[in-house]
Structure 1
């Protein structure tokens, strides 16, 4: 496994070639267009990965890397090699997008087939998007085998404090269109950045429809408010989970790396555990730390 590196190598070395087949999980974050060649080099070298985390703009480099391996495979077949390589990227089933994504960035992957003839996008079962502040696009309709999806809840513009009236839902949960109707989707995880949850009382302040004790709870207790959010989303759809991620003592890359190395549970494992033991919001304070108000 590998969590990737912020330093981009400028040339492949024998040592690099020797251990690249061992990598199963890769976080790759290019610093700009000038590093696109190195980015494609890394993706091509680590073609046995099961899970890749990358900028959405890097999907083009991923497509290019797949094309390179397919062309090589076809050339080997023409040359009559007895054991042509055919497993490049066939194990890749999970993608984490570090940044916002747009529809055109997925164009390069549409209809793209691997060396074994399978369609690449049909192999993807897990997708997490870390940021949707600029674009609310989610490519779930392109991923027909998608079973697990994670989206940043606070970027979706929901207002859960005024959606219930005497126990009845009066406003639907705001999700990218079509997600709930996706035929293979089993788990939807709404991630809540703990720093944002605590540092921005706006997310906790009740709207005009809330009153009395419930309004005070929403405004004054980030833990209780978080648990109410969990209860609401579960009433909307049983497949929906809400988790704190990333936690305030870490960042998305470190959280991902800890899970990749087996030092911490993945976001999917956290969601399943909290649903089972009811530990949603563990670690959140009962009241807002005064220093956090702006």
Structure 2
């Protein structure tokens, strides 16, 4: 069992930290809103810290799952950042969906300070975090990954080292490109079928068993057809992720015409008041 800290108790971090505690690890949590950290401890035990630096002191592994590059820099290299409290030989694991650039930056800095770094964004959404069934995409050194992978398994159904620092974030970008295209295709399919007067339950129950099947179809078609979007991965978060993708594409020369188009469609959903709707709400802009 390991001594660990978890920084960031959002919809993902809160249950991820719980799984670590349930597996017997010694867990200290930190959250920018202190009351949430206090509530987590009251529910699950462990300890809470008032700063990332305090949370990181004496820990073997420090996990983080925060909002974006700026938030990540704040909890790592900020005035009271975790990097100032970590001991040599410790490892920092970042589950934030952030840029590959910040992953490489923090990895280089961590090695200078004598501890390891793994960028490890996740896929599976809130349900995956709650159920301990996330997919974790990792970038870093093999020896470092080998030390943290058994601990990450507390909330993962798949955890794989893809390559050096930044590779986890680049893989998450590939993941989001795939999702964006699939959700738009499913939105148009549901919209078309409804306009055609088809029994969409019968249609999608049938085609989901063939080549058109996908996780999105299995888990989202009913709520899409019903116009229900108050759950799941928010449009604001998806646009943040797609902006990271498109920025990286500008750097490496990749052509992402469909991804750029879907990003603009999500902008339309935001203007409709759907900033916190589930990403499946792409269908709403077609049905308006």
TM-score band by shorter chain is 0.3 to 0.5
State the TM-score, normalizing by the size of structure 2.
Answer: 0.35
